[in-house]
Amino acid sequence: MDTFQCEPFGTVTIRRRHDARSIRIRIKTDGLLVSADYYTSDKQILKLIEQNREAILKEQQSLKSKKKLINEDFRLRNRYFSLSIRRDDAIKRLLFTIKAESSVMPYKFTMRCNSKADLTDEETQEHMLNAINKLIRNVANEPLRERTMQLAKEFGFEVKILDENKIQDLGMNLLYNVGKASVNKPKLIVMRYFGDSSSDEKIGLVGKGLTYDTGGLCLKPADSMLTMKDDMTGGATVIGTMCAVAKNKIKRNVIAVVPACENSINGNSYRPGDIIKSMNGKSVEIINTDAEGRLVLCDALTYVKRFDPEIVIDIATLTGACVIALGAYNAGLMTEDKVLADALLNAANETQDKAWQLPIGEEYNEQLKSNFADLANIGGRWGGASNGGAFLSYFTKDYRWAHLDIAGVAWKEGAEKGATGRPVQLLMQYLLNQVKK
C-alpha cells in the first residue's frame, strides 16, 4: 500500500487488490472518502472511469452542500473531480492522474505506481506477478523436472537435480520410500540464486512437490484423487518465486529445494507400520501413507541445512485440517519465531495474499510419540494442521523456520479449476521487505 499527501485533495491511498489485477484508489478529503477500483486493462480503465465519473461528481456535490473546503483558496462548489489512469509505455509503469478542474485554474497531480523496490523488470510488478501466477498454473500441469530446467535457463538461476540413486546415497530414506513405487522415480530439485555477493546470508525455500498422490496403500477416495496433481503446488510456488526473484535481480541470496515424487502403489510400496530412518537420523513410524508430504519435506528440510541458511520457509499443501480450519481464504502459518511470523504476516497483509497464524508447541509434539520410533508420522484426529507443523519442527532446529500450509488456497474448484499461484505474492513481498532492511 502506498499513501501520498496530495494537495489540494488530502490523503491519497493506492492499494493492490487481492486478485493482483485491480488497484483500489481512495481519496480522503476533510474526513470524507471517495473510493473506486480500477483494472489494468486499458479498455476497462476508460470504461470504468466513465462509469464512476457521475458517482464521483455526486460525492463532490455532497461535499459542496456541506460547504467543506479543500484548502483556503478554493471552495468545492467551484471544483469538479476526475480520475484517469494511463499506461506510459516509455517507462513501463502505470500512471495515476488525479485532476481537479475549476473555473479558476486546474490542479494536477501525477504519481507513478512503482513497486516498493527498484525492480528492473520491463513490466510493472502487477504484470510480472500475473505472469508468474500463470507460469505456476502451467507448471502444475507439466513435467516438473523438465520445466524447472527450462525456467532456470530462461530466468537465470542455477538448478541441479538429484536422482533416486543420489537421494539414497544421501540417506533421504523418507523421500525415497514415498516415491519408490512409481515408475517416475523421486527427484530432488535444488535451485540457487545469489543476488547479494556482499553477504553470506541466505534464505531457504522448501516446497512440497508431490506430482501425484494416490494416498499410497492408505488409498484416497476417488473424488479426493481427482485433483491430486495440485499436491505439488508448494513446489510450483517455490519455483515461481525463484523465477520472480531472478528476473527482478532481487538483492538476496535464495536457496530453494523441491522434493519431487509420486505417492503411488505397487508391491514395493511403503506400508503402515514401517519404521524408516530420516536423513537427520530420526526414525519415523508410518501410521498413514497418505501423510506423505511431511515425510518428503523433513528430508528436504534436513538437506537445505548444508547451505547454512539463516531462515527457511517451507510451503506445502500439507493437511485437509488446514482447509477445514481456514477455508480457501488464508494459508496456515506456523512458527514459534515471533519476528519471522510478524514479517510474513505483514507481507501477507500488504499483498492481500492472506495468512493466519496457527499454534505449534509441546502439546502437539505429545501426539507424535511412537512406541517403536522417534516419531509417528501423524498424531490424533484433532489439530491436524498443527500436528503437521509440529512434525516438521523436529527437522528445523538449525535455523529460523516457518511453515505455510497452503492446502486451502493453492487450488480452485468449479469453473475456475486450477492452481491459483498463491502464495508467490506473499513470498515476494517478504523478500522485497528483507532487501529494505
Work out the average pLDDT over 190-197.
96
- Model pLDDT, residue 2: 47
Q: Which residue of the set 75, 220, 252, 400 is catalytic?
A: 220
Q: Which residue of the set 79, 137, 187, 294 is catalytic?
A: 294
Phi and psi at residue 356, to the nearest 5° = -135, 135
Indicate if the pLDDT at residue 88 is higher than 60: no
Indicate if the pLDDT at residue 178 is higher than 70: yes
d(CA 353, CA 252) in angstroms, rounded, equals 21
Active site annotation includes 53: no
- Model pLDDT, residue 310: 97
Percent of the chain surpassing pLDDT 90: 58
- Model pLDDT, residue 414: 79
- Model pLDDT, residue 217: 97
**pTM here?**
0.72
**CA distance to 5, 15, 85, 141, 437, per residue, from 37 (Å):** 20, 10, 11, 33, 31
Residues 6+ apart with CB under 8 A from 417: 227, 411
Band of residue 46 on the pLDDT scale cut at 50, 70, 90:
very low
d(CA 159, CA 234) in angstroms, rounded, equals 17
Active site annotation includes 28: no
d(CA 286, CA 372) in angstroms, rounded, equals 10
- Model pLDDT, residue 419: 83
- Cell 483500489 maps to which residue? 24
Work out the average pLDDT over 358-372.
94
- Model pLDDT, residue 381: 82
Work out the average pLDDT over 48-55.
52
- Model pLDDT, residue 202: 97
Chain segment 90-140, per-residue pLDDT in tens = 333 333 343 333 333 233 333 333 323 333 443 445 555 555 556 655 665
Indicate if the pLDDT at residue 346 is higher than 90: yes
Chain segment 18-41, per-residue pLDDT in tens = 444 444 555 444 443 444 444 344
**Where does CATH 3.40.630.10 sit in the chain?**
125-436
Do the beta carbons of residue 426 and residue 346 sit within 8 Å? Answer: no
What are residue 94's DSSP bridge partners? 87
Work out the average pLDDT over 412-427.
86
If DSSP states are collapsed to H, E and C, what string results for the chain? CEEEEECCCEEEEEEECCCCCEEEEEEEECCEEEEEEEECCHHHHHHHHHHHHHHHHHHHHHHHHCCCECCCCCEHHHEEEEEEEEEECCCCEEEEEEEEEECCCCEEEEEECCCCCCCCCCCCHHHHHHHHHHHHHHHCCCCHHHHHHHHHHHHCCEEEEECHHHHHHCCCHHHHHHHCCCCCCCEEEEEEEECCCCCCCCEEEEECEEEEECCCCCCCCHHHHCCHHHHHHHHHHHHHHHHHHHHCCCCCEEEEEEEEEEECCCCCCCCCCCEEECCCCCEEECCCCCCCHHHHHHHHHHHHHHHCCCEEEEEECCCHHHHHHHCCCCEEEECCCHHHHHHHHHHHHHHCCCEEECCCCHHHHHHHCCCCCCEECCCCCCCHHHHHHHHHHCCCCCCEEEEEECCCCCEECHHHCEECCCCHHHHHHHHHHHHHC
Amino acid at 163: D
The chain-wide mean pLDDT, for the chain, equals: 78
Q: Which of 21-35, 141-155, 220-234, 307-321 has the highest mean pLDDT?
A: 307-321
- Model pLDDT, residue 26: 52
CATH architecture of 125-436: 3-Layer(aba) Sandwich (3.40)
Indicate if the pLDDT at residue 7 is higher than 60: no
d(CA 192, CA 257) in angstroms, rounded, equals 9
Band of residue 229 on the pLDDT scale cut at 50, 70, 90:
confident
d(CA 130, CA 127) in angstroms, rounded, equals 5
Q: Which of 10-14, 151-155, 198-202, 309-313 has the lowest mean pLDDT?
A: 10-14
d(CA 93, CA 112) in angstroms, rounded, equals 7
Chain segment 8-21, per-residue pLDDT in tens = 444 545 454 444 44
Percent of the chain surpassing pLDDT 70: 67
